[in-house]
Structure 1
């Protein structure tokens, strides 16, 4: 690679005017000079944002050759004409094709065969990239749908059991409000029914006459589940349920056996499930366990075979009753009418301090349990025969041979003899397995590899190394780290380093393969993924120790991870960058304030950096839902004071900040663009150092950035080029890169 030009140091950043706005709570007054930037309808605001982009482009123009090189590396390693492994639903195999030069996937299907051999009938057909199968039908060509649109995203699809009708939801703005259309798959014609402003998730009733969907309120909180009867005016759609508590999230799904509609209502601390029986639709919804009990649970109704031979209506509960890491129980529906203390729950998977139960579901023959142990997510299966009795069979767990990996159920059909599983690790590309469920002839089951995603360009996993290390936090807590590097990097304290983190909402940063990440490792950057408190890697305690009035543990854990890397012998302590997005962007702002001297650069993607202002206004998108994560600063002075002490925008101080890039989208409904827009103004005004602070804003994107895979690759190349350039790690290691 030729030497890149030097950074433009003559560009002048845009300076927003100051319009003092006083925010007063609990006797505290905060004067916000840049709140006026919230008005996205204002031509002055739009012009300011365009000026930010122009400044960013000038400051980073010298990175363009590096960005192009990284983009070509991502593209060169990706098999652009490819397809997903077909997954069977009812009488059809469904799959997605991708085509070289096309931004979006093409949804297809082909009819399944019925030979009478269960495993053979559930063996996916051999579909080849670029070659149509006989009888192949195109359900939705995303490229045709996206033509002429600034943005394109699919928020859900559904097919009737008979395979005749297809519903799909499309967003063309990035605002996550979808338009639902219906297609008759026999004729290819669109039905006249059109539903506007739906949210994620669609499902047909078993008889195919109704479509269920969710609607969001003005703050983008899903609060209604509605039913549309095909052929009737949308204005007459039935509101099955409306959730008026602004701190509760609403969603739905069909039960595994499709006999019930299952409504899930909840926050991160307690929940409620309501059921609708399709064979008694007019009876309406019934509540499993009231939210008043303050349990966090999921419920799955199903028919369990018992000794009498007649399947018995049973409810599977994954819950935290006397079980902080959750457990799995069975309860008879009739018991639910009793007070909670009088109900009889039969234990299926007992509580463990070392194992977190993430969820459970059923097929016609087996219980499927998702668990997390030693930070790793895995799957266990238990036969339904004898479930919840002394005759219950032991769990069987598909075995894999790597230390750091992620395995999970990616799809299952109730009557199938196999369960579709996804598997990946840091340097094993995504694999799709079918796990043949255990039988008397096959007591351990059998893993059948259906596909490993191809990686081109001479990729070999043996060129890279992933290890588990541990940092020690200020309070003595050991924080797990995943350390990734190219095998040729020497432990001589000269390499560059990048620390990545998230640490909120009990979300775990699980091992997973990433083509784009290879471009950093190939330039000698040692990457640390910090599994900090606030995430879910080490169970529910790990999450609770990083939320509300313990939130600062998330930030200090990240700094401890940085200190580990600085002292590890792998990197030069002067060449470390940090990266995170959304709540991880709040993390970036917090650590930049805490320890700006430890980082050469910070990339904050869609950063939640004005958290207190946002959460103080319940009218803003999703604000009220955040109270269970951060606390409610409106009603609680202690929460207000605690949040005010760390929220990044309000704690910018006179210090020499590193190079900072705030990356955002104009139409993001989760973290509004105004947060990074205000933050970068405060940083530029206050920093005592010479390093630039830039904001890159995608004017047509949402929370996930722009749509289209090539556009997304270029966005990732932008982020990584900023990091690599800031660390002086622009050259490929000898022998690394595309081959």
Structure 2
């Protein structure tokens, strides 16, 4: 029986008045930033205790869902081996160990040897996240990085496989790495220790242990990436604008590009694309030319080539023209084939061309909404998928709400495919579920797609959990994933009669650059009105009941659902905000905040008066009031989160409680004391976090059976 006298905690308020652009704001909980203050820890623990007591009636349901999630865990890893030089690298899990170890074997046959055992890293028993795993060409050295806190400060190490010893370890804020062709020189990007958001490229000589900075980016709104061309012949340095990710997609466009022959690691980098032209460019190498995917002819991009000695725009020759509505997302180079990943609407496809430009293989998935990826990856936060250059065999993976991750090898020479491996989800029968795309109309007449999955025997209308992101032009496509999984947990919702949908609202990147630009800066509220239109559209079309929609978002998406719920609290039965960006205005005003400067292109610059006022109009933290009751809401945070700092959600919760006479008892807040932005890395916490959110949502939707 619930304790109706249970009262949520309320920390003390320390009012801080700010006058900016002749506007007055009062912040009562800025003091939460002081992590060493014992009152901060006491408040977080009090909220955890309140949530535990307020949801005690869900313990049986949560245990039931945990058992379901753990029962669906694949027994074997499904990713194919990575071939680098003379070795194949693969993972193997041993019984009773938290993390799979990396092993390798010669491609020509021979004995296996262990490369890296994360279980031996101090701290990995509590939390572990892989940053990169990159062998050099001949396999003598392997570079790897890891985080055992959850703050995404990845420590880089280099192991000598001849001795089994680590011959270098250093920087703890390393992102991408790339080996030169000599197998002795490693380039890596990192944040400059003196200034958090300044980027640098470091060259490390493994033999001497000498490292030196070879490139510094002083513009704090830009990031630096390093990568090696598919051919292996060139190294590219990309200077990019913010993309909304802790790691940057391998094919994200750059404002400036530098190159260096991979066999001349001590040489000078040459700039081949200058910044300031207003374009985003992704460079690759093929034969005697550089290829550039560029948005100069339109937002969906075209592909051009130019001589290596003269890559200036005056020398560009068109390879693939710009096509309205068909986004050219990725470019992959094989010795005799060019493969591009295109997306038209939500539907992706792979198209291969030979050196003459003739289109050969086209891989067009049957599912209308799915995830299609090229190559194999080590799976680290900053890992780049790879494929064999001197081969005609294209490896790709496909996944959706109803299709577990499946890896396929397609021979471009004879146009034949073979399935390499498929994730086996115990107890999952895809025939029981149906996935579809539902189109709804936004306020301005633009059609918004929703990827929706339900049990085939579900009766409409019914309850729906609707997830969104809608920021930074970052695409979010339906994906199953093996473990920890996106869908293996949500099957417990579907099996209880709840539909699950992903609303592809503007601000995201699923529908190309125009869809993103339609909800940036002074148009950002389009993201929120699109979500409202998506929910209302599901009701009108008979998929959802009027009082049966819960909205869900994480990180920036968490900020979206909080802001949207404030606009239409009557429309949503519940709100799930995971590690939400709940104080957008303060984040953009503070250059020391993670992503603060980089995000201004997305949200606007609050130091400009009109942009400040617009941002303030929807900021979740500053739009709380006693006369605006909000739906029941779940919020969480992570103490060591490196993206959304723990006090950002905590301030929102405290302010919301202070605005309500009864402290808003239907608002629950949990702070993870272990792990980071994405939650627990392993162990019981993985299933428990997902099961708790689903049990809470089911309780709000009143579909418990």
TM over 0.5: yes
Partner of 2:420: 450
2:677 is matched with which residue: 686, 703, 713? 703
Q: How does 1:662-677 map to 2 (within 5 A)?
A: 662-677=635-650
Instruction: Please say which structure displays the higher CA radius of gyration.
Output: 1
Q: How many residues align?
A: 676
Partner of 2:571: 598
| Contact 1:23–1:31 (CA under 8 A) maintained in structure 2 | yes
1:179 Cα deviation from its structure 2 partner: 1.9
Secondary structure class of the residue paired with 1:334: coil
> Residue deviations 1:341-380, cap 9 Å, x none?
xx02111111011201112131111112111112122221
Partner of 2:358: 393
1:66 equivalenced with 2:33 (yes/no) = no
Moved more, 139-148 or 320-329: 139-148
1:66 Cα deviation from its structure 2 partner: 1.7
Partner of 1:680: 653
d(CA) in 1 for partners of 2:347, 2:419: 21
d(CA) in 2 for partners of 1:173, 1:537: 32
1:103 equivalenced with 2:120 (yes/no) = no
| Contact 1:534–1:543 (CA under 8 A) maintained in structure 2 | yes
| Structure 2 unaligned residues grouped into runs of 5+ | 243-252, 376-385, 481-486
| Contact 1:473–1:560 (CA under 8 A) maintained in structure 2 | yes
1:421 equivalenced with 2:393 (yes/no) = no
TM-score by length of 1: 0.88
CA 1:7–1:203: 2 relative to 1, 3 Å:
farther
| Contact 1:545–1:553 (CA under 8 A) maintained in structure 2 | yes
Secondary structure class of the residue paired with 1:292: coil
| Contact 1:378–1:408 (CA under 8 A) maintained in structure 2 | no
1:176 is matched with which residue: 147, 152, 155? 152
2:212 is matched with which residue: 226, 233, 238? 238
| Contact 2:349–2:364 (CA under 8 A) maintained in structure 1 | no
| Structure 1 unaligned residues grouped into runs of 5+ | 1-5, 115-133, 304-311, 387-391, 732-739
2:493 is matched with which residue: 516, 520, 545? 520
d(CA) in 1 for partners of 2:692, 2:677: 17
| Contact 1:420–1:434 (CA under 8 A) maintained in structure 2 | yes
d(CA) in 1 for partners of 2:497, 2:198: 44
RMSD: 2.0
CA 1:318–1:65: 2 relative to 1, 3 Å:
same
Partner of 1:464: 433
Partner of 1:124: none
d(CA) in 2 for partners of 1:659, 1:274: 51
1:174 Cα deviation from its structure 2 partner: 1.1
1:91 equivalenced with 2:86 (yes/no) = yes
d(CA) in 2 for partners of 1:486, 1:676: 34
d(CA) in 2 for partners of 1:220, 1:298: 26
Partner of 1:497: 464
1:161 is matched with which residue: 117, 131, 137? 137
Partner of 1:584: 557
Q: How does 1:465-484 map to 2 (within 5 A)?
A: 465-484=434-453
Partner of 2:699: 725
d(CA) in 1 for partners of 2:400, 2:661: 42
d(CA) in 1 for partners of 2:618, 2:195: 25
| Contact 2:348–2:371 (CA under 8 A) maintained in structure 1 | yes
Moved more, 421-430 or 73-82: 73-82
1:43 is matched with which residue: 30, 38, 48? 38
| Contact 1:585–1:606 (CA under 8 A) maintained in structure 2 | yes
CA 1:79–1:148: 2 relative to 1, 3 Å:
closer
1:551 Cα deviation from its structure 2 partner: 0.8
d(CA) in 2 for partners of 1:697, 1:394: 52
CA 1:317–1:594: 2 relative to 1, 3 Å:
same
Partner of 2:536: 563
| Contact 2:129–2:146 (CA under 8 A) maintained in structure 1 | yes
1:276 is matched with which residue: 260, 283, 286? 260
CA 1:675–1:147: 2 relative to 1, 3 Å:
closer
CA 1:543–1:159: 2 relative to 1, 3 Å:
same
CA 1:587–1:46: 2 relative to 1, 3 Å:
same
CA 1:656–1:482: 2 relative to 1, 3 Å:
same
Secondary structure class of the residue paired with 1:598: coil
Partner of 1:734: none
> Residue deviations 1:719-739, cap 9 Å, x none?
1111112111222xxxxxxxx
CA 1:61–1:164: 2 relative to 1, 3 Å:
same
